[in-house]
């Protein structure tokens, strides 16, 4: 690579890049999905993906997985065939990667939220988990310290599962896709027999999207924390499901969008926050404009 600085001399040297390759996930030999991922922990990725899609929810449902290739062809380790446990129904062929989970699924927000509630085997609303606010502010650094590949490339997302009581990092995984990093974490929890993951915090290195919120709920994780912002649909899903959603977790501060009662040690008398600035009224000319890209949420 060549590093350029305005007004300076070009400098050329070798550099490290995060690997991105496709992984085709098959179930009993039938292709189910293809995701772009960073190779490594592929079995956990496939297991977590199947949990997120509502196909399995217990360790015994995931019998085995093997990297495979066509007869006579070199094994590129980019195809993983999963064998489900005895009696576990295979995914409906009509649902092959047209599930509700992707942000581009085309479903309205309410339909998407109802789909998650219908598919999830676990509930988090009654989870009595609580986490110390000061301890929680240390999770981003703890996550960062275990990002070995990010340290060399600067190009990976990370997700970690933390014990809400002790603050212990139970598992940390990296990937070019934030959803893949979460699937690897969920897959680890499934294979360790830790689902539903009561009393834990899912920490992610980027923003909190609807899809990541859904994955937390499908795994029975009661708290999702992100260093960046959540989307409006993520906040709605968290609120309706009783999941604690934390955004902008940086330094000694955070923004809690739902179930703030699970966060201990914050200011018991916070200053009131003024209402968001109202959007300008639409004129007749603006009536056919695209849907707004931002949405106010109640404090």
Say if 76 falls within a structural domain: yes
CB 119 within 8 A of CB 144: no
- Supply 37's token pair: 């991922």
Say if 48 falls within a structural domain: yes
pLDDT in tens, 212-266: 999 999 999 999 999 999 999 899 999 999 999 999 999 999 999 999 999 998 6
User: Which CATH number is 36's domain given?
Assistant: 3.10.20.10
Q: Is the pLDDT of residue 72 over 80?
A: no
pLDDT at 264: 94
- Give catalytic status of residue 105 as yes or no: yes
Say if 80 falls within a structural domain: yes
Entry pTM: 0.84
Say if 51 falls within a structural domain: yes
Say if 131 falls within a structural domain: no
Q: How far apart are CA 206 and CA 251, in angstroms?
A: 15
Residues of the domain holding 62: 21-106
- Residue from 211, 273, 198, 209 nearest 242 by CA: 198
pLDDT in tens, 285-294: 433 444 455 5
Say if 150 falls within a structural domain: no
Residue 233 Cα to chain centre, angstroms: 14
- Residue from 236, 240, 245 nearest 216 by CA: 245
Q: Is the pLDDT of residue 109 over 90?
A: no
pLDDT in tens, 150-175: 566 666 889 999 999 999 999 999 99
Burial degree of 67 (CB within 10 A; 0-12, 13-18, 19+): middle
Say if 259 falls within a structural domain: no
Say if 258 falls within a structural domain: no
**What is the tally of structural domains in the chain?**
1
Catalytic residue among 68, 105, 108, 129: 105
């Amino acid at each position: 690579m060549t590093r350029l600085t305005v007004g300076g001399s070009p400098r050329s040297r070798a550099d490290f890049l995060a690997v991105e390759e496709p992984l085709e996930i098959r179930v009993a030999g039938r292709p189910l999905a293809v995701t772009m991922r960073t190779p490594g922990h592929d079995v956990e990725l496939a297991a977590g993906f199947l949990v997120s899609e509502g196909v399995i929810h217990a360790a015994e449902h995931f019998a085995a997985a093997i990297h495979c290739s066509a007869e006579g062809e070199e094994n590129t380790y980019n195809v993983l065939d999963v064998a489900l446990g005895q009696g576990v129904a295979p995914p409906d062929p009509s649902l092959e990667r047209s599930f509700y989970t992707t942000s581009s699924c085309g479903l309205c927000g309410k339909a998407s939220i109802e789909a998650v509630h219908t598919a999830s085997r676990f509930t988090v609303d009654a989870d009595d988990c609580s986490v110390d606010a000061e301890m929680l502010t240390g999770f981003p650094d703890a996550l960062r310290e275990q990002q070995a590949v990010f340290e060399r490339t600067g190009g990976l997302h990370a997700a970690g599962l933390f014990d809400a009581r002790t603050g212990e990092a139970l598992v940390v995984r990296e990937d070019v896709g934030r959803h893949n990093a979460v699937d690897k974490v969920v897959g680890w929890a499934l294979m360790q027999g830790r689902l539903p993951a009561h009393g834990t915090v899912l920490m992610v290195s980027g923003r909190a999207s609807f899809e990541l919120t859904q994955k937390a709920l499908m795994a029975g994780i009661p708290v999702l924390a992100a260093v960046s912002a959540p989307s409006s649909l993520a906040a709605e899903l968290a609120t309706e499901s009783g999941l604690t959603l934390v955004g902008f977790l940086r330094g000694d501060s955070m923004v809690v969008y739902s179930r703030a009662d699970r966060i201990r040690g914050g200011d018991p008398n916070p200053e009131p926050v003024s209402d968001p600035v109202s959007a300008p009224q639409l004129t007749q000319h603006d009536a056919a404009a695209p849907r707004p890209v931002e949405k106010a949420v109640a404090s």
